[in-house]
């Protein structure tokens, strides 16, 4: 009986290391089928989960309260598992180089608690080679075990889309890889227990690592193209969304739209690929060009907010601007690498007073990480402009007529970043309306 059969029969346990936006849904989903240990170094987060509070908003507090997964912040508990999934963040440093601190730390923790006959699978986004060249030696050193004999490794990139209720973990095809055929087969079958969409067996670990990093790089480049078009059409006095609607009538036109690119994936992963490319002597041109455009969009939106305020004959210093939505994307509480914060910081430099609301973001986290105090919409009055930055579903019932009540007077500057409202209706209501 191999490890898959033992896990399936609940004779061996599976662990998930890192209980964030990726790891928590994994742990909860696997716990419906097998014995699961969920581990995170953040004791406060684990305690919140135990109380049934889902800080990620990805699985729901009801599912969290009903799970059989054993959640812990004590690493020794990992010794009871034989199949380990490492799902920790892989951000970038201020100089845009990969920050592998979390994945290295997780490897050390798992290594210290690794037992013979185990498989360790990495889900964290990395550049090709990290699993085998960096992580595997750490597992060997910390455990004193031999890779390929005492334990095996694999890689299966996460594809979770935070805030997306349609493309859930179970409904997205899973790419899996292993260091040999036997390991690959076991990993594929274990994930097959929960992935309804099926699994795809990659030819090697490096292929799987590369596949993940180009998925987000491709999307980043396509959005960068849309953002550049938006900049051009704005200068030409043409509505970008009208152009995209017209072009979209052709069957093979790719329907991307302009917007802010933040978060822990699309705005980060391309730098992992370009870093590795530099190591082998290739300087990226297209990928880095796309990154520069998208990294600059927060500042671009802030500049156009200032232009609209000037059109409204506002004295810039002392203006009050309401920012609606501060997370990196809609229907998600994650503020990591949010470009909305870039907009806010840019406007603050001009002496503009900022009010910000977000029904999903954690108030204490926003205050701690960004120095921004979130308000309630009913407490905000007398604003000179509104930046509708993140179209959360919880904002869906807010109308243009509702927004009018928040302004100081009838000079209605509205920056609708993603074009949520109808442009003609806004202009008919005398809004000074601008969108990407």
- Which residue would you say has higher pLDDT here, 415 or 56? 415
How far is the C-alpha of 41 from the C-alpha of 383, rounded, in Å? 42
Over range 46-68, report the average pLDDT: 86
Return the domain boundaries, the chain: 3-202, 213-293, 296-434
Name residues whose C-beta falls within 8 Å of residue 330's C-beta, 6 or more positions apart in sequence. Answer: 163, 390, 391, 392, 393
User: Does the pLDDT value for residue 247 go beyond 70?
Assistant: yes
Residues β-bridged to residue 86: 17, 122
Q: Could you tell me the pLDDT band of residue 396, with boundaries at 50, 70 and 90? A: confident
- Scored b (16 or more CB within 10 A) or e, 239-275 reads ebbeebeeeeeeeeeeebbbbbbbbbbbbbbbbbbbe
Q: What confidence score (pLDDT) does residue 171 get?
A: 85
User: Does the pLDDT value for residue 101 go beyond 90?
Assistant: yes
Q: What confidence score (pLDDT) does residue 180 get?
A: 97
User: Does the pLDDT value for residue 167 go beyond 70?
Assistant: no
Return the residue matching tokens 């977000």. Answer: 358
3-202 has which fold? Rossmann fold (3.40.50)
Homologous superfamily, domain 296-434: NAD(P)-binding Rossmann-like Domain (3.40.50.720)
pLDDT tens readout for residues 188-218: 999 999 999 999 999 999 999 999 999 999 9
How far is the C-alpha of 221 from the C-alpha of 182, rounded, in Å? 37
- Scored b (16 or more CB within 10 A) or e, 21-41 reads bbbbbbbbbbbeebbbbbbbb
pLDDT tens readout for residues 219-245: 999 999 999 999 999 999 999 999 999
Tell me if residue 265 is catalytic. Answer: yes
- Which residue would you say has higher pLDDT here, 168 or 360? 360
Selecting among 135, 147, 265, 370, the annotated active-site residue is 265
User: Quick check: helix, strand or coil at residue 70?
Assistant: strand
pLDDT tens readout for residues 123-148: 999 999 999 999 999 999 999 999 99
Q: What confidence score (pLDDT) does residue 266 get?
A: 85
Cβ neighbours around 76 below 10 Å, total: 10
User: Does the pLDDT value for residue 257 go beyond 90?
Assistant: yes
Q: What is the mean pLDDT of the chain?
A: 93
Pick the CATH number of 213-293 from 3.30.559.10, 1.20.1250.10, 1.10.1040.10, 1.10.10.10: 1.10.1040.10
Percent of the chain past pLDDT 90, that is, above it, reads 84
Q: Could you tell me the pLDDT band of residue 164, with boundaries at 50, 70 and 90? A: low
Chain length of the chain: 436
Q: Could you tell me the pLDDT band of residue 418, with boundaries at 50, 70 and 90? A: very high
Q: Could you tell me the pLDDT band of residue 160, with boundaries at 50, 70 and 90? A: confident
Q: What confidence score (pLDDT) does residue 307 get?
A: 97
Picking from 298, 302, 304, 312, the residue whose alpha carbon sits closest to that of residue 384 is 312
Q: Are strands 81-86 and 118-122 parallel, antiparallel or unpaired?
A: parallel
Q: CA angle, corner 73, sides to 67 and 74, nearest 5?
A: 115
Q: What confidence score (pLDDT) does residue 353 get?
A: 94
Percent of the chain past pLDDT 70, that is, above it, reads 98
User: Does the pLDDT value for residue 153 go beyond 70?
Assistant: yes
* 3-202 shares its CATH topology with 296-434: yes
pLDDT tens readout for residues 21-54: 899 999 999 999 999 999 999 999 999 999 988 8
Least confidently predicted of 29-33, 305-309, 329-333? 329-333
What is the helix (H) or strand (E) element at residue 219, kind and residue range? helix 205-236
Q: Could you tell me the pLDDT band of residue 157, with boundaries at 50, 70 and 90? A: very high
Residues 198, 30, 360, 325, CA torsion sign:
negative
User: Does the pLDDT value for residue 296 go beyond 90?
Assistant: yes
Q: What confidence score (pLDDT) does residue 166 get?
A: 63
Q: What confidence score (pLDDT) does residue 354 get?
A: 94
Residues β-bridged to residue 39: 17, 72
Q: Could you tell me the pLDDT band of residue 57, with boundaries at 50, 70 and 90? A: confident
């Amino acid at each position: 009986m191999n490890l898959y059969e033992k896990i399936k029969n609940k004779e061996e346990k599976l662990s998930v290391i890192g209980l964030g936006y990726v790891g928590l849904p994994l742990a909860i989903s696997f716990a419906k089928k097998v014995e699961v240990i969920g581990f995170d170094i953040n004791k406060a987060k684990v305690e919140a989960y135990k109380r049934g509070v889902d800080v990620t908003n990805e699985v729901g507090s009801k599912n969290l309260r009903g799970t059989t997964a054993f959640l812990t912040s004590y690493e020794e508990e990992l010794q009871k598992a034989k199949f380990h999934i490492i799902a920790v963040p892989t951000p970038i440093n201020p100089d845009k180089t990969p920050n592998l601190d979390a994945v290295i730390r997780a490897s050390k923790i798992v290594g210290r608690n690794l037992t013979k006959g185990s498989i360790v699978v990495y889900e964290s986004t990395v550049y090709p080679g990290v699993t085998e060249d960096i992580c595997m030696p750490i597992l060997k050193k910390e455990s004193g075990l031999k890779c390929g004999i005492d334990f095996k490794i694999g890689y299966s990139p996460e594809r979770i889309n935070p805030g997306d209720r349609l493309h859930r973990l179970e409904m997205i095809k899973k790419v899996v890889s292993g260091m040999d055929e036997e390991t690959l087969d076991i990993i594929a079958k274990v994930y097959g227990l929960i992935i309804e969409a099926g699994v795809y067996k990659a030819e090697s670990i490096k292929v799987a690592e590369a596949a993940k990093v180009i998925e987000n790089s491709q999307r980043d480049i396509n959005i960068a193209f849309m953002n550049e078009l938006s900049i051009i059409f704005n200068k030409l006095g043409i509505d970008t969304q009208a152009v995209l609607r017209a072009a979209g009538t052709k069957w093979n036109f790719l329907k991307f739209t302009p917007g802010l690119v933040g978060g822990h994936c699309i705005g980060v992963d391309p730098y992992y690929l370009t870093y590795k490319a530099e190591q082998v002597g290739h300087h990226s041109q297209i990928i880095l060009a796309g990154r520069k455009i998208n990294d600059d969009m927060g500042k671009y939106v802030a500049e156009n907010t200032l232009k609209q305020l000037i059109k409204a004959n506002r004295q810039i210093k002392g203006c009050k601007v309401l920012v609606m939505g501060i997370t990196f994307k809609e229907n998600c509480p994650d503020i990591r690498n949010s470009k909305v914060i870039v907009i806010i910081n840019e406007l603050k430099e001009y002496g503009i007073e900022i009010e910000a609301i977000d029904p999903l973001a954690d108030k204490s986290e926003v205050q701690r990480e960004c120095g921004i105090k979130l308000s309630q919409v009913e407490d905000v009055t007398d604003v000179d402009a509104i930046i509708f930055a993140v179209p959360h579903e919880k904002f869906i019932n807010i109308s243009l007529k509702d927004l009018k009540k928040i302004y100081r007077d009838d000079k209605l500057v509205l920056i609708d970043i993603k074009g949520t409202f109808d442009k003609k209706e806004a202009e008919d209501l005398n809004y000074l309306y601008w969108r990407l």
